[in-house]
Structure 1
Amino acid sequence: MSEFFDGLETRSADQRDAEQMAALARQVAHAQAHSAAFGEILRGVDAAAVTSRAALARLPVTRKSELLERQKAQRSTDAFGGFAAVVRGPKMQRIFASPGPIYEPEGTARDYWRTGRALFAAGFRSGHLVHNAFSYHMTPGAFILEAGALAVGCTVFPAGTGQTEQQLQAMVELRPDAYTGTPSFLRILLEKAVETGTDIRSLQRASVGGEACPPSLTAWFREQGVEVFQTYATADLGLVAYETASRQGLVLDEGVIVEIVRPGTGDPVPEGEVGELVVTTLNPDYPLIRFGTGDLSAVLPGSCPTGRTAPRIKGWMGRADQTTKVRGMFVHPGQVADVARRFPEVGRARLVVSGEMANDRMCLRVETAGGSDGLRSAIEAAVRDVTKLRADVELVAPGSLPNDGKVIEDARSYQ
């Protein structure tokens, strides 16, 4: 695809990095001044000095669970828990509720969630009619994609969810060019159309999200005449990454700064290693700094063959929260990282929990170039100190552990 949504997509890596780091320092200062929560979280941070990824990595990670707890604690005074930088009135168009409930504000910026970029890459164009099958009830999903479609110049039919027969009737009579919604509901619509002999061949492309869409399902959609592209966006952050015609990973949005960190920590991992996506948004209305998504992914080498120069990620690769209960006690990925940090000669670590119900066994596998019985014994003692549980320790060569983002592997039998 030789067309781009705007000039930001083809910036050089150096230009993008310089402009994003300058914007980062301004965003940190803005968050400190206008978001009560980040005024507290970032207390003592010199915003003017946060002009590099190394400086960003020294800031604390705020995870969704922490955001929810702050919101719950302040329900009577501030439904947003101090995270919003705008107040009700002309600068806040809507309030949404995600499961939790977590409340999110919508500001007045055109294409507030920035999904126009993703839809343009998926081939949505001015004059297209978009059948929007995301829910218009409480949650922002429908509005996130609707705003992007309007920014591209599309017309939107607010179909919402359910009522398959009525939706097919509308598609026959309105002849939409494109679909936004979950891949599972798109499949239901297409299968029902085949079953009933309904002609919805006007539908040629789709932007899907909210669920995994594996290559096998994308291929099935193509067989039905619909080119499907994945859009990775959240209610908190807006667009994070999007698929292009190259089908080689997801390109990062221009309005976010993304890090991949070791699960349970805020420590960035080397390029290519799987870890948790941590996102800093440059949205002034909801300035989330180092927001832990809880999703696993990895950075791909090189840039997109379409000419977009932003980094790419592999896409959604699972969840980072691998907290596991062992012998009645919770063990967290952060505890595994804490053990590993105590030993400079240790690289990656993976705690394997095995055994049958009520007979749990733990084995911590650690990568090290030069192991010894003394190191093994010291690590075993550290595990007991940190988790209050006993574990065997296995020393393995660097690069031996799978690159799948797992810090805790639950291999127990529950039969």
Structure 2
Amino acid sequence: MTTDFYDALEVRDPAERERDLLAALPKQIMQAQTAAPAFAKILDGVKPADITSREALSRLPVTRKSELLALQKERRANDPFGGFAAIARGSRMPRVFASPGTIYEPEGEARDYWRTARALHAAGFRSGELVHNCFSYHMTPAGSIMESGAHAMGCTVFAGGIGQTEQQVDAMVDLQAEGYIGTPSFLKIILEKAAELKTPLPRLKKALVSGEAFPPSLRDWIDAHGVRGTQCYATADLGLVAYETSAREGLVLDEGVLVEIVRPGTGDPVPDGEVGEIVVTTFNRDYPLVRFGTGDLSSVLAGDCPTGRTNKRIKGWLGRADQTTKVRGMFVHPSQVADIASRFPEVRRARLVVEGEMGDDRMTLKLECDGAPEGLEARVAETIREVTKLRGAVECVTPNSLPNDGKVIEDARSYR
């Protein structure tokens, strides 16, 4: 196997990959039901042997990150993980981390537990190199997420953490770091500090960045300073979800997850190319998250990766899926918009636009319809009031005329 790939999984036939993922799915459903009490409740009545297709999976409920804190808190007096972890403290759980909220996440004993070695390899890191890790080591798992992957590759890690830029530059020089791991904005700060100190970093040639947006302008700036930046998408709950390759054309999905893109506020998968929420089922048996809604927007990118990797690609982070908006003192949720649209078979897509100035909110529900039978707009308007307790106008528009940006609720109000 060429060293261009981390392993043979990256180049297997897509049909073989899909068979393997779907074959593993019933076992993971059973693991979630039997070892994680929270999922025993969420998946009550589900027969694991029946979940052998994406269609069957799409009928299971989505557990969103925005709901995880409340679900953890319900059981926190007896279990800090709220029944979502399949392992216990002191038993195959060497570390515990916290994300804002506070949401607690377990780390199991598995080698490369967060599966980030694959992303590091794609970014050009190799065994024996020294990696300067500037993700936080304080409470959050970010530092450990990347460190464990680097160790799995045979790299040495300097635990730089965040802040203290002059000392970071000194350490990079003294230890001759070949690569950086951290947020792209902090890498820019370090490179600026090195320039200010007139301290060259000739060994630093590559970086794996994550944790925030990595726009082309910042990527090009970092490239111009002698460091090739590659990004990955990972979360504290799931580990690696997708990673960029040397082609820099989208992010290739990790081999250890099953990813769906769904319409925000629902669990309904959207066609490839349409923007929606990233929903992930992980095959981590220690923390068996099934249909976990990340709250992040993306879309499937058409075609194959030029590097030869055969898994699907996503476009990267395209915004947040939770578009809950307060209108005239009432919260309106994407799930309510989806509920309204689902009651009318003629409606293909819906987008609620909120306009006006402070104290003068106006709602218009725009509908892409396959034909608009007489009286449809009036009936939809009645349903809007029934579901949201608010009045709203209805406008039927031509198919495919609404923006493909994942927005179900557009807040177009003026706040000046």
TM-score range, shorter chain: over 0.9
Partner of 1:227: 228
**Any residues of structure 2 matched to 1:176-191 within 5 Å, and which?**
176-191=177-192
Q: CA deviation at 1:127?
A: 1.2
Partner of 2:57: 56
Contact 2:127–2:154 under 8 Å retained in 1:
yes
Partner of 1:394: 395
Contact 2:349–2:368 under 8 Å retained in 1:
yes
User: What RMSD in Å do the two structures reach over aligned CA positions?
Assistant: 0.9
Q: CA deviation at 1:136?
A: 0.7
CA distance in 1, matches of 2:166, 2:220: 25
Partner of 1:366: 367
Partner of 1:110: 111
Partner of 1:210: 211
- The residue type equivalent to 1:183 in the other structure is P
Percent identity over paired residues? 67
- The residue type equivalent to 1:184 in the other structure is S
CA distance in 2, matches of 1:88, 1:305: 44
Contact 1:2–1:306 under 8 Å retained in 2:
no
Partner of 1:407: 408
Describe the SS at the equivalent of 1:184.
Answer: helix
Describe the SS at the equivalent of 1:66.
Answer: helix
- The residue type equivalent to 1:320 in the other structure is A
- The residue type equivalent to 1:10 in the other structure is V
Describe the SS at the equivalent of 1:254.
Answer: coil
Partner of 1:22: 23
CA distance in 2, matches of 1:177, 1:315: 26
**Any residues of structure 2 matched to 1:243-258 within 5 Å, and which?**
243-258=244-259
- The residue type equivalent to 1:278 in the other structure is V
More displaced 10-residue stretch of structure 1: 110-119 or 73-82: 73-82
Residues 27-83 of structure 1: CA deviation (Å, up to 9, x unaligned):
001110100000111010010110100000000000113221121122221000000
**Any residues of structure 2 matched to 1:336-355 within 5 Å, and which?**
336-355=337-356
CA distance in 2, matches of 1:265, 1:120: 35
CA distance in 2, matches of 1:353, 1:90: 51
Partner of 2:95: 94
CA distance in 1, matches of 2:338, 2:75: 32
Describe the SS at the equivalent of 1:191.
Answer: helix
Paired residues, number: 415
Contact 1:276–1:295 under 8 Å retained in 2:
yes
TM-score, length-scaled by structure 1: 0.99
**Any residues of structure 2 matched to 1:281-320 within 5 Å, and which?**
281-320=282-321
CA distance in 2, matches of 1:201, 1:382: 64
CA distance in 2, matches of 1:269, 1:201: 46
CA distance in 2, matches of 1:310, 1:337: 30
Question: Does 1:331 pair with 2:329?
Answer: no
Contact 2:66–2:295 under 8 Å retained in 1:
no
Partner of 1:31: 32
Residues 118-137 of structure 1: CA deviation (Å, up to 9, x unaligned):
00000000111100001111
CA distance in 2, matches of 1:143, 1:19: 29
Describe the SS at the equivalent of 1:167.
Answer: helix
CA distance in 2, matches of 1:403, 1:261: 13
Contact 2:246–2:307 under 8 Å retained in 1:
yes
Structure 1 runs of 4+ with >2 Å offset: none
CA distance in 1, matches of 2:25, 2:309: 22
- The residue type equivalent to 2:130 in the other structure is L
Contact 1:145–1:180 under 8 Å retained in 2:
yes
- The residue type equivalent to 1:257 in the other structure is L
CA distance in 2, matches of 1:90, 1:287: 16
CA distance in 2, matches of 1:340, 1:120: 44
TM-score, length-scaled by structure 2: 0.99
Describe the SS at the equivalent of 2:169.
Answer: helix
